[in-house]
Chain A
Amino acid sequence: MSKRKATYASKLKRATHMLFFKRHTKPGVKGWELRKALGSDYPKVLRIVDDYLKALDLEVKTVFEEGKQVEKPTLEQLDKARFYVALRGGLVPKEAKMIGWRIDDFAGLAMAIGYIISKKGKASREDVEELLRNKLPGWKVGLNVDRYIRYGYLTEDEGGQLYLDWRTRAEVDQKALIDLLLGAETQT
């Protein structure tokens, strides 16, 4: 094996460890951490990791600061971004059960996220809970919203306003969700 190949093989291993193993309270790794560990060519290393993961229906996901979409990111933007390993495709309901969530929990989360997106990223907890009460038992609504907050899907300020949090930005294709929700209605 050439020296260059060996270097990249070692960088790939290191990048995989950093991406998969949770080192902080949040999963994933910041760009500057990868640069420090792998060198300035870490975006190239990540591309190779991503190629390997493709076969496993996984991908290296980049989430830029404040959830912005960036077409051609600069090195500075990449340094500030967070990189995760996520499922490339979607899950079928049967598989979703393995995660330990009930169908109610997914529906509640989808409703809360959809509603907050439609309200320009901010909605009062009262309004969200009122919407959820349509489909979920009343006693469960507050608990579920707390759970979404705890998992990092939503965040709440002192004024009782709910916002989308880091996990939604990392895991949910917001545009696809809105399109699917609107599209699904027309089919019924």
Chain B
Amino acid sequence: MQSKKVHEKLGREKLHRIIETCKSVEERSLDPFLLNVSENISTVKEYFPEWKIPEDLCLDAETLHHIASVVKLQSEWVKHRSTSLYTDPFLLEEKLRRMEKEEIARTFLEAWHPLIEWEQISLHSLSEAIRYWNSLVPLNERWKEKPPTEVGSGLATREELVRERILRDKAFSEELESFWHELRNVVAEKGKNGKIRYWDFIGAESYGETVDRAFMTSFLITYGYATLEIYPLEEEMFVVPYEKPVVKTSQKQLVSIPISVSAGDWQKWRRGELA
């Protein structure tokens, strides 16, 4: 057992070494033929039956990937050597070191065909520039420091806070009760079998109001004033009001149901495309 573990450890170390060698060939542009591919493949093969856990299998795959990259570099190296551009880098480097810089520059000029490009303003862009210039506010006006605006403190009335939607008009429980009564009335008027389609209840004239109604409906359901009936196959959802608020016991696992009330859904409902 001990020797198996040692064998596996040794295998991992060998694979890491292969990866490091491949990486240095890839990153430092070393001669890719420095790597003995067949020998490394044999090492990978030798240890492959030992690998059981995903980490080891990933290491094996990574090693193969790096060996494949070096093989690709070898292929490119052969291709480059066969092209007319191939020059022994040491030979060229040596020649560049020995040549005078004037000579190098002269040589370069023979192989250099600079591009010609013109940059010239046109009448159109000139008139655009003048128009922009004329409409530009002078710097001293643009950078003028504005005096800090004075903010006076004062008292806000309750009505103002309600108008700003910081406070609600009624206490939340009161509001929830009246919303429950509204649900029961709507179900009595428009509903069928004591229930109403979810969107027909929450849908309102504006999207904001619809979201507000969906928010209140979620509390009706959470606090036991109503329940949801969902028919996934028919993609239908109903709100069913209770006659009396039901106190939910913890015998049954309570579930949360996310319902999307997006602006797109609201528009669809308005067009009668959403149940």
Q: Binary interface profile of B, 93-128, with partner A (CB < 8 Å = 1, else 0)?
A: 101111101111111111111111111100000000
Q: Are B96 and A176 in contact (CB under 8 A)?
A: no
Contact pick for B102, options A21, A103, A113, A134, CB 8 Å: A103
Q: How far is the CA of A174 from the CA of B84 in the complex (A)?
A: 10
In contact, B105 and A93 (Cβ under 8 angstroms) = yes
Q: Nearest chain B CB to A123's CB is how many angstroms away?
A: 7
Residue of B nearest to A122 (CB): B29
Interface size class of B (residues with CB under 8 A): 35 or more
Say how far A58's CB is from chain B's closest CB, in angstroms. 6
CB nearest to B107 among chain A residues: A180
Residue B92 lies at the interface, judged by CB distance under 8 Å to chain A: yes
Interface size on A, residues (CB 8 A): 59
Q: Pick from B27, B93, B103, B113: contact of A188, CB below 8 A.
A: B103
Contact (Cβ within 8 A) A171 B104 = no
B94 closest partner in A (C-beta): A185
Q: List 17 A-B contacts (CB under 8 A).
A: A21-B117, A87-B116, A91-B112, A91-B114, A96-B109, A103-B102, A104-B101, A104-B105, A106-B104, A106-B108, A110-B104, A111-B104, A159-B27, A173-B112, A177-B107, A178-B92, A181-B95
Per-position contact with B for A80-96: 1 when CB-CB < 8 Å, else 0? Answer: 00001111111111001
Q: Is the CB of B116 within 8 A of A188?
A: no
B96 and A174 within 8 A (CB) = no
Which B residues are in CB contact (< 8 Å) with A43? none
Q: Which residues of B contact A135 (CB under 8 A)?
A: 101, 104
| Contact (Cβ within 8 A) A123 B29 | yes
